[in-house]
Structures are given as C-alpha cells and as structure tokens.
Amino acid sequence: MGPRLERRTTPSKRMSWGSPLLAVGLTLASCIVLFLLLGLNPVTALYVFFVQPISNVYGATELLVKATPLVLCALGLAIGFRANVWNIGAEGQLLFGAIFGGGAALAFYEQDFVGLLPLVALAGALGGALWAAIPAWLKTHFGANEILVSLMLTYVAGLALSYLVHGPWKDPEGFNFPESRLFHDAALLPILIEDTRLHAGAAVALVAVVACWLLLARFMVGFQIKVIGLAPGAARYAGYSESGVIWFCLLLSGGLAGLAGAFEAVGPVGQLVPNISPGYGFTAIIVAFLGRLHPAGILLAGCLMALTYLGAETAQIELNMPSAVTGVFQGMLLFYLLAADVLISYRIVWRTATGETS
C-alpha cells in the first residue's frame, strides 16, 4: 500500500548528521536538472559553480571571507532557535552593526590609536544588540511576536542605512554616489594573508564558534536554553526565567550579527554602501539549520553556503548564469533538509496490501 512513517523509539543520531548530507545530495541532483533547463552542460556548470571558485588560494580565502558573516550570524541564531526564540531579523541587526561600526570608523576618521579597531567592533556588536533588544523588549513586555517584529526592523534598518549614505554620511568628494567616504587605513581590519581579502574577522568568527560551543556544553545558561527548547514545562518547573533566556538569546544573536556587519564594513567593503550585505542574515538561517544548530556544524555549513555565493559569481561571469540561481539553491537546500529531517524521528515502513509490514 506504499510507504508509511513509523515513529522511532529514540531519535536517530546517525540520521541527524545524515540528513544534511542527503539534502546536499538532493540539491545537487536538482541543480543538474536546473542547469539542463537553463540549457547548460551540467558537468561544466557544476565544475564552474562548485570547484573552480576554490581551485586556487585566493578563491579559498574568498570562501572564508564570505563564510565569516554567515557563521557569526548563524551561531547566534542557532542558540536562539534551540530555545524557540525565532529571531529572523539577523539581516537588520547586521546592517545596524555596520551602521554603528562604520559610524565609529567615520567619527574617528584619520585618527590612529591602539583601541580604534576594538572600538569599531564593540560599536558594531552594540548596534546589533540594540536592534535585537527591541524585539526582546516587545516580546517580554507585551508578548509581541519576535518573528514579525525582528523582520519589520530589517526593512527599517535597510532604510536607515540608505538614509545615512544618501544624506548625512555621504562622501563629500564621492560625485554624489550614495556611499560613505572610504575608511582610513587605521580603521580597516588587518589582512591575514597578503594579497587576499582574508581579514582578522575570520579569526574572531573561529573564536566565536568555540565560545558558543562552550556556552552550550559547559555553562548553566546553555543548559537552560536547551531545556527551554526541549521541555518548556520542565524549565518552568525548575524555575528558569523564560524572559531572561529570550533577552539573552536576542542580545547574543544581535551582537554577533552586529559584529558581522561591522566586520563587513571595515573589512572587504571598506566603506558604508546601501547594499553592504547580499542577504547574509537570511542565508544564516539556512546555515544554522544545515549545521544542526551546533557550532561545529555551523562552521562547515557556513563554508558550504559561502560557496553558493562564490559559485554564482563565477557562473555569472563564465556561463552568463543569472545570479538569482543562488537564492533558488539556498531555498531548495533548506526544503530538502527539513524534509529529510523526518528520518531523524521516523523510519519509513513499506506496508503490503494485507496490512503486514515487510
């Protein structure tokens, strides 16, 4: 009679890591179909998309440059998702981090002192955390849905950045382009490998991965986050503060996203522009799920998703493939992943017509 789902007695550990691999495999298979539909040779297209971009040192470092904001945003989001705090406005928090970090860099223009870069980073984290504090406050005080509030604030943040670079922060010598002036050298992140764009922010992202792993595995607040997500009743009984965890998750994820935004501004971009992020904050949602909401997984998933950005750039140049393909890949991957996740809690049983399982 066809397949039927049967609940496993315990969730399968093997499938929880097997499902992302399955999803990636299915996405690649769908890519081949999509390439054929676009009239491209699938072998060449796959090579150009996934191999060519990282076939040299510069490409490999570019991968890390793109993975840095994705990993930073996804780390915070994942911790929130574990506690059922659905911050989906990381994009807005990233933009606000860029505004604050970039603002600090502009405020101390042509000044050079030891604390300048830490100040810029701190300002960025503060900006992101402030932007995330709004949904936290509205959620804990008024019960307003954090999904909708954080998302609406993303549009507001985009408009705020656009206003600043069109108005007060516009480069006076910039031929009227909507851009801030280029940051002074002292305010730019140091480059790790010469002749590449790999900046110190990538190292900070690695530290954040370890810190978040420690937080979840070794600290009381990490334990509370996991309990609130898995067994809200037990968490209430144990007296864990739900609003405390909401505040913690939103401030942490906002701060990390803000840091990512500041790093983008004083890293690869070097100034404030209206479209400073190609949607890193939204892609980070996929990174978080693909990485199983686990810091180590997020690191790998971040690199994979960074490759879709790079691949799209190469494919646009080499094959004239529309850049919108990235969005299709990313959405498809999340769909496949969520679908494949059913195998963690269920197994597929084939039932014969007589009702017996075989």
Partner 1 sequence: MSADALTPILLTIITAATPLVFAALGELVVEKAGVLNLGIEGLMLIGAIAGFATTSATGSLLLGFIAAVFAGMLLSMLFGVIVLQLRANQVATGLALTLFGTGVAALVGQGFVGFPIDALAPFAIPVLSKLPLVGAILFNHDPVVYLSIVMTFAVWWFLYKTRAGLVVRAIGESHDSAHALGYNVIAIRYAAIAFGGGMGGLAGAYLSLAYSPMWAENMTAGRGWIALALVVFATWKPQRVLAGAYLFGGVTILQLWAQAQAVNVASQLLSMLPYLATIAVLVVISRDKTAMLMHTPAALGKTFQPAR
Q: Which residues bind partner 1 (CB under 8 A)?
A: 5, 7, 86, 88, 138, 142-145, 147-149, 151-153, 155-156, 159-160, 162-163, 166-167, 282, 285-286, 289, 322, 324-332, 334-335, 338-339, 341-342, 345-346
Nearest approach, Cβ of 1 to partner 1 (angstroms)?
15
Nearest approach in angstroms of CB 346 to partner 1 is 8
Q: Quick one: 198 exposed, middle or buried, by C-beta within 10 A (0-12, 13-18, 19+)?
A: buried
Give the nearer residue to partner 1 in terms of CB position, either 100 or 108.
100
- The gap between the terminal CA atoms of the chain, to the nearest Å, is 11
Check if the beta carbon of residue 212 is closer than 8 Å to that of residue 79: yes
Q: Closer to partner 1 at the Cβ: 24 or 144?
A: 144
Backbone phi, then psi, for 292, in 5-degree steps? Answer: 60, 30
At closest approach, how far in Å is the CB of 121 from partner 1?
26
Q: How far is the CB of 113 from partner 1 (least distance, A)?
A: 33
Q: Which is nearer to partner 1, 88 or 298 (CB)?
A: 88
Backbone angles phi, psi at 183, to 5 degrees: -65, 150
Question: How far is the C-alpha of 325 from the C-alpha of 187, rounded, in Å?
Answer: 35
Closest distance to partner 1 from the beta carbon of 153 (Å) = 7
Question: How far, in Å, CA of 90 to CA of 255, rounded?
Answer: 10
DSSP 20-51: HHHHHHHHHHHHHHHHHHTT--HHHHHIIIII
Nearer to partner 1, 244 or 322 (CB): 322
Nearer to partner 1, 201 or 229 (CB): 229
In sequence order, the 6+-apart residues with CB closer than 8 A to the CB of 43 are none
Kindly tell me which of 126 and 285 has the beta carbon lying closer to partner 1: 285
Could you give the C-alpha distances from 330 to 28, 103, 118, in angstroms and in order?
11, 32, 33
Report, in Å, the least distance between residue 226 CB and partner 1. Answer: 16
As measured in angstroms, the least distance from the Cβ of 133 to partner 1 is: 14
* Residue 341: how many other CB atoms lie within 10 Å: 19
Q: How far is the CB of 40 from partner 1 (least distance, A)?
A: 13
- Which 3 state secondary structure label does DSSP give 6? strand
Contact yes or no for 74/281 (Cβ under 8 A): no
Q: Which is nearer to partner 1, 217 or 342 (CB)?
A: 342
Q: Which of 147/203 has CB closer to partner 1?
A: 147
